[in-house]
Amino acid sequence: MTATVNRTDVTGQMIIAGKPVRGSGPTIHGINPAAGERLEPGFAHGTEPDVEAACAAADEAFAPYRATSSEDRARFLEAIADNIEALGDTLVARACAESGLPQGRITGEVGRTSGQLRLFAGVLRDGGWNGARIDPAQPDRSPLPRADIRQRKIPLGPVAVFGASNFPLAFSVAGGDTASALAAGCPVVVKAHDAHPGTSELVGRAIADAVASTGMPAGTFSLLYGAGPELGTALVKDSRIKAVGFTGSRSGGTALVAAAAGRPEPIPVYAEMSSINPVFLLESALATRGADLGRAFVASLTLGSGQFCTNPGLVIAVDGPGLAAFVSAANAAVAETVPTPMLTPVIAGSYADGVAALEGVATVEARGAESDAPNSCRAALFSSDADTFLGSDVLQQEVFGASSLVVKCRDAEQVRAVAARLEGQLTATVHADEEDLDEAGHLLSVLELKAGRILFDGWPTGVEVGHAMVHGGPYPATSDSRTTSVGSLAIERFLRPVAYQDVPPSLLPTAVADGNPEQLWRRIDGRLTQD
């Protein structure tokens, strides 16, 4: 492939097992949302034969790919990271054009993406992901001897990944889903998001080149273009696909969950879908720094045109002078915001519709400046009393973009009542002073059951990539609260345990072999040891 396509060219082709393939479906184009301009070249959507070819290649690659060592897979992930970084300005310029996001944000996202790949290289070298356990034989146990039983985790099989629109790099072709699935030993078939097809091709080729240069099986990675309802569903329904990673809308995620559940062999779907990320402002914090909080809140709200899964779409506090100061400062900050482009015309249209729906049921506190620029996001802040909020479905729905709602409560008890009524969330935020800690403790025990991440005295829009991060949460934030899509724990989504009973030493996987050749931390009779 490297012989025929230059690494920095955008050709409009898919990549199936290393080979460039032009689709035979309808042609779509990237759109520069800031300019409202169509970008070249066109990308022809793939069709079912392309799904078939990619899945067949992934299936064929699975056995040799999962047999590679942790070290070999770590080097493969590092080669992907190197290739992505080597794309330099070409990649940044294309991603900026296709997303309307500013250069600084995209440059940061390149680093986040390569950083994630390197994080999983480290996870592979650490080896804890094997979950190695050994219960040694007890031949003299009475009344029955105990067999030798060992456990390790193995990859589920080929994984389908659906790129997200709002992070064209970090949650897309080489994002966290792909990085964690490849680390686990699963081949990956990506369905690119139509919002950034050129970015997807560049990153896809960076992966395919790393497959080739590190000697991985060609079918370890494929990249397809296509419509979600047709090509995406065909991909999820293919019997060779064994798990799905998705970041996107609630309707898109639930459709994939239904498709996966309806298969003859149902498979897990990790869909990160919908969250309004409540922020609780407690009394003393509001009294001492209400206006500062209001300004900082708007900075988080409007970051990236509010197009974050963790955008703070709900603020909950006891009504009073502190909250008034917060709202007043927030209103002033919102009024000063300059419209910024949204990712796609569809997203901009949905945002405008969502804000219009809120205008009918909540008080408009402030709007950002108007603009004639296409696809722009005009920030919006609403307010409502808690009784209205609790009785309204519309007010509890996510509006993707820089829109938020302040819910004014009678007292701390009503704040807790609102917390208890929330759906599942990716995050919940609490601003609390020393005097608020008792109340914060009550709230924390409720919020633990509602969110994957709870943060104090900050804003939810930054999602650190590390070992302790949870980017997940109860339904409908995700379709599976037992996991995270960001951070090293994400590898566990694509693994399952296997037990080996009295398996001859020469056939035992090295992770559970005698003498611990990989020097792993293992549980021997339940106790962690590196022996």
Please give the positions annotated as active site.
272, 309
Q: Which is nearer to a second copy, 325 or 395 (CB)?
A: 395
What six digits make up the tokens of 255? Answer: 């459709």
Cα→Cα distances 278→249, 396, 424, 463, 504, Å: 18, 10, 10, 16, 55
Q: Which is nearer to a second copy, 181 or 343 (CB)?
A: 181
Q: From the CB of 241, what's the least distance to a second copy, in Å?
A: 13
Measured between alpha carbons, how far is 95 from 226 in angstroms, rounded to an integer?
Answer: 19
Q: From the CB of 428, what's the least distance to a second copy, in Å?
A: 10
Residue 145: asked if its preceding bond is cis (omega within 30°), the reply is no
Q: Which is nearer to a second copy, 6 or 445 (CB)?
A: 445
What six digits make up the tokens of 376? Answer: 């722009």
- What 3-state class would DSSP assign to 189? strand
Q: From the CB of 499, what's the least distance to a second copy, in Å?
A: 4
Q: Which is nearer to a second copy, 457 or 514 (CB)?
A: 457
Residue 212 in contact with residue 1, Cβ under 8 Å?
yes
Sort strands 314-318 and 278-281 into parallel, antiparallel or unpaired. parallel
* Element at 84 (helix H, strand E): helix 70-86
Q: Which is nearer to a second copy, 373 or 475 (CB)?
A: 475
Q: From the CB of 365, what's the least distance to a second copy, in Å?
A: 27
- What 3-state class would DSSP assign to 28? strand
Q: From the CB of 361, what's the least distance to a second copy, in Å?
A: 22
Q: Which is nearer to a second copy, 21 or 257 (CB)?
A: 257
What six digits make up the tokens of 395? Answer: 């007010």
Residue 525 in contact with residue 515, Cβ under 8 Å?
no
**Beta-sheet strand order (sheet of 19-21):** 19-21, 14-16, 221-224, 188-191, 159-162, 243-247, 269-272
- What 3-state class would DSSP assign to 5? coil
- What 3-state class would DSSP assign to 41? coil
What six digits make up the tokens of 453? Answer: 């991440």
Q: From the CB of 330, what's the least distance to a second copy, in Å?
A: 22
What six digits make up the tokens of 286? Answer: 């509001």
Q: From the CB of 438, what's the least distance to a second copy, in Å?
A: 10
Q: Which is nearer to a second copy, 67 or 369 (CB)?
A: 67
Q: From the CB of 112, what's the least distance to a second copy, in Å?
A: 11
- What 3-state class would DSSP assign to 43? strand
CA angle 260/277/377 to nearest 5° reads: 95
Q: Which is nearer to a second copy, 27 or 519 (CB)?
A: 519
Task: State how far Cα 121 lies from the chain centre.
Answer: 19
Provide the 8-state DSSP code for 468: S
Q: Which is nearer to a second copy, 97 or 470 (CB)?
A: 470
Measured between alpha carbons, how far is 347 from 69 in angstroms, rounded to an integer?
Answer: 42
What six digits make up the tokens of 188? Answer: 């990956």
Q: From the CB of 240, what's the least distance to a second copy, in Å?
A: 11
Q: From the CB of 80, what's the least distance to a second copy, in Å?
A: 20
Measured between alpha carbons, how far is 402 from 305 in angstroms, rounded to an integer?
Answer: 6
Q: Which is nearer to a second copy, 224 or 511 (CB)?
A: 511
Beta bridge partners of 244: 160, 269
Considering only CA atoms, which of 70, 80, 62 is closest in space to residue 186? 62
178-203: burial string, b at 16+ Cβ within 10 Å, e else: bbbbbbbbbbbbbbbbbbbbbbbbbb
* Element at 21 (helix H, strand E): strand 19-21
Considering only CA atoms, which of 508, 492, 518, 495 is closest in space to residue 136? 508
